[in-house]
Amino acid sequence: MSEYAHLCNEINPDLLPEENGDTCSAEQENENLTDFGQLSLPAQQSNIHVITIIGQVEGHLVMPSQNKATKYEHIIPQLVAVEQSKEIEGLLVILNTVGGDVEAGLAIAEIIASMSKPTVSLVLGGGHSIGVPIAVAADRSFIASTATMTIHPIRLTGMVVSVQQSFDYLERMQERVINFVAEHSQISAEKFKEMMMTIGELARDVGTVAVGKGAVECGLIDQVGGLRDAMDYLKQRIEENRSQQPPEKGGEQA
């Protein structure tokens, strides 16, 4: 560790107690500034945590390494940890995803929807396909004015046994997504299905591309906005939660 002792860091002083104290002198901070052109940032504890859903949502199948992927085995324990933590008071979910595994996406969406802490989603860039249920799962959803959401049918590709059961299974998978979206947003199941089947918007598929305001107008997303709007909503909900909490018992006993 001595090799790195001069890299004085004050962001998380409790992270490495042995590194603080005598190894972090003002002289070493100056050295750090001279050597790396960097100043240590002031310590800060965040009560709002953030989860980013980027690239493909990876589920039951490992995707080849050329894909940028968000793995559900990473995300789900993080969501559980956020729910359990006493210090964390709100969660911001940032989406820029091209879609991915239906069941992994639904699992993430269901956990977000069932959390007791205030949750906000913000779609930036794109929140396509399975990104849609994840976006609507939060208590309030925001979309950047330039962000897009593609709503298109679920497909079965590769070798498919062409029997009625295959079609029924596909239909049921699609129903699961449609019902989730309809339950967690202002859009009706009929309207969402209609958007899935629209022709003339996508080059090689049927479906709809909802851009910023369009996603709000159809009832899918609650509001056009950015980080400030998302944070304002979270802070407001956190304040409400604090005011509803009963006073500490310790104070009464004293």
Partner 1 sequence: MIWSVIPEEVVFKAGEKSSDLQLTEYLGRRVILRQGRVDSLLSTDPADFLDQRFMPGSLVNQGQ
Question: Is 74 a known active-site residue?
Answer: no
Q: What is the smallest separation between the CB atom of 139 and partner 1, expressed in angstroms?
A: 17
Question: Least distance from C-beta 225 to partner 1, angstroms?
Answer: 18
Residue among 31 and 103 whose Cβ is closer to partner 1: 103
User: What span, in angstroms and rounded, lies between the C-alpha atoms of 182 and 13?
Assistant: 45
Surface-to-core class of residue 250, CB atoms within 10 Å of its CB (0-12 exposed, 13-18 middle, 19+ buried): exposed
Q: What residue ranges bind partner 1 (CB under 8 A)?
A: 1, 3-4, 7, 9, 11-12, 15-16, 36, 38, 40-41, 44-46, 48-51, 56, 61, 63-67, 74, 78, 81-82, 88, 91, 98-103, 105, 126, 128-130, 150, 152, 154-158, 173, 177, 204
What's the closest the beta carbon of residue 222 comes to partner 1, in angstroms? Answer: 22
CB of 129 to partner 1, least distance (A): 4
Q: Which of 49, 121, 141, 152 is an active site residue?
A: 152
The rounded distance, in Å, linking the Cα atoms of 94 and 108 is 13
The conformation of residue 220, written as its DSSP 8-state character, comes to S
CB contact set of 103 (below 8 Å; sequence gap of 6+)? 59, 60
> Is 184 designated active site?
no
Residues 129, 141, 184, 185: which is the catalytic one? Answer: 129
Amino acid occupying residue 160 = V
Of 104, 154, 109, whose CA–CA distance to 129 is shortest?
154
- For the annotated catalytic residues, the residue numbers are 129, 152
